[in-house]
Structure 1
Amino acid sequence: MGRPDGSGEAANNLEWARELRSAVRCAGVPLALLLLVDCATGRLTLWRTALWFALAGLLFLVLFPARVSAGGNWLACRRVVHEQRVRTDLLVSVRCLDGISQRLLLRDALGGRVGIDPEVLVRNPRLWSCLNEGAQKAADDGLLLCGQTALRRLSARMDRETARAVFTASGLD
């Protein structure tokens, strides 16, 4: 997927395919075990099979990973049925929501909203670079009024992770 204006390449979440395979396994293994147990006990019926497939499908939908991509002044997050997109150069708010799973909530001046896991940015420096460049432009233009602290914390985390990776690769850890 390229940029909306057709120029250049987009940065994508490099681990999305692995996360998708994991979601398939996490839904498929219980399905196979439930069908095997039903078959072994002689309880396998059409209704029970349909129930097990429905439960496995629901589990897959819950575990389906968001596909995050970014390019020149945009960031998109595609889920099962919809895509969210923001213009990073028009960001007005960046909030870090803590809870069971941490979320980074981005909102732009056009009303676009995207919620992503900050870990995706940490594991994919090109995505972080695209977001950071656009956010810096929005801050310089005076649009980004809420969230510079969250971006600084995320930037510091990115620097720590980069340094850790360099030390690990050089054998200095």
Structure 2
Amino acid sequence: MGRRDDVSGEPPGGSGEATNDLEWTKDLWNTVCCAGVLLATLLLLDWGSGRIAPWRAALWLALAVLFFALLCPARLSAGRDWLASRRLGREHRVRTDLLVSVRCLEGASLRLLLRDALGGRVEIDPEILVRNPQLWFRLDEGARRAAADGSLVCGATALQRIARRVDRETARAVFRASGLE
């Protein structure tokens, strides 16, 4: 069991197994397919127009790699008292039991920004939490502990909205599985 005075930002010792985003591999495969289709389309257009050249093929390959890097999904994982988001070799981690704020960022897509007392910061898509109730459970468990300790000063409303949505989607899944929908 992790100690409360351990503020290293690393997963507490004896934290049990980590829970991962179950659909990450599917999302990654979709990203690879999109980049591959872009590359194939550009190469076919060049070949059809008779303007294909090695330097142009290298340019199209670089464009497809950049497209992949922009679309590559973050891999979300959580354990007891921590949540991590890994994107192309860089990992961001927060201690959920030391959360100080949870904010919804609106823009092209809704994002959830989590900050802990150690300066850790993770930005995630709330849809991942809805699709993976185990990840939500790990986050909620730590956030409740942070709220009880008084460190979570901002974000209870955002967490309640996500909790209602997770509960609603879980109930729908149960009804679908039992044939009651």
Where in structure 2 are the equivalents of 1:49-88 lying within 5 Å?
A: 49-88=57-96
Distance 1:4 1:12 in 2: 17
The reply to whether residue 145 of structure 1 matches residue 153 of structure 2 is yes
TM-score (norm 1): 0.95
The reply to whether residue 111 of structure 1 matches residue 119 of structure 2 is yes
Partner of 1:16: 24
* One of 79, 88, 101 as aligned partner of 2:109: 101
Displacement over 4 Å in runs of 4+: none
Shift of 1:7: 4.5
Q: Equivalent residue of 1:115, what SS? A: strand
- Runs of 5+ consecutive residues of structure 2 not aligned to the other structure: 1-10
**Counterpart amino acid of residue 177 in structure 2:** A
Q: What is the number of equivalent residue pairs in this alignment?
A: 171
**Counterpart amino acid of residue 52 in structure 1:** W
Shift of 1:4: 5.2
* One of 126, 141, 145 as aligned partner of 1:133: 141
Distance 2:12 2:57 in 1: 44
Shift of 1:28: 0.3
**Percent of matched pairs sharing the same residue:** 67
The reply to whether residue 92 of structure 1 matches residue 100 of structure 2 is yes
